[in-house]
Structures are given as C-alpha cells and as structure tokens.
Amino acid sequence: MPAHPVLASPLPTVRQPEPFVNADTAAAFVGITRRTLLQKVREGRIPGHPLDCGAKKKEWRFKLSELDRYLSLCDKLRSLCDKLRSAAT
C-alpha cells in the first residue's frame, strides 16, 4: 500500500477570475465608438464598473462576458419586438 493514498477523483480546477478590459477594448468588442460606450454606461444601459465610485469623472472597466450577455439579450429582445410587430399587422 502506498504511503499516500491516491485520490479517487481529480482535484477541481481553479478558474482564474475574468480580467477587466478598458473602454477602448470594450467599445471594439461591442462595435461602437468609445464615446458612445461611455455615454451608454453612464446612462446605465451597458454594464460597466467604475474604478472610483466617488470620482466626478469616472474611469470605467468592463468584463467581456457581461457585454456578450448584454448583446445576446438585446438580440433576443429585438427578435421578440419584431415578432410582436409582425403579429400586430
């Protein structure tokens, strides 16, 4: 018998946290200008994370997975609206 018993199941893999990206990278991912992205995040229409919540001029960071979910939701809502419009006519 070995000195150290072999584990029956492998150790779970540790997932690294998703890195934040800057506004330029996020805007390119979404396909809009940096200015439009920042305007939409200030309005609360696009998910974003301010670095300093108390700052008058905020510097924003984004997670691409959150932006991807946002875009998918927009596509689903657009499709639903199109179906409702065509059903109403």
User: Does the reported pTM lie above 0.85?
Assistant: no
Percent of the residues in the chain that have a pLDDT greater than 90, as a whole number: 51
Beta strands in 1-89 (DSSP E): 49-50, 60-61
Q: What is the pLDDT of residue 74?
A: 81
* Residue 67 burial (10 A CB sphere; 0-12, 13-18, 19+): buried
58-81, pLDDT tens digit by residue?
Answer: 899 999 999 999 998 887 777 777
Whole-number Cα distances in Å, 73 to 59, 80, 89:
25, 11, 25
Nearest CA to 37 out of 54, 72, 55, 45 is that of 45
pLDDT at 30: 94
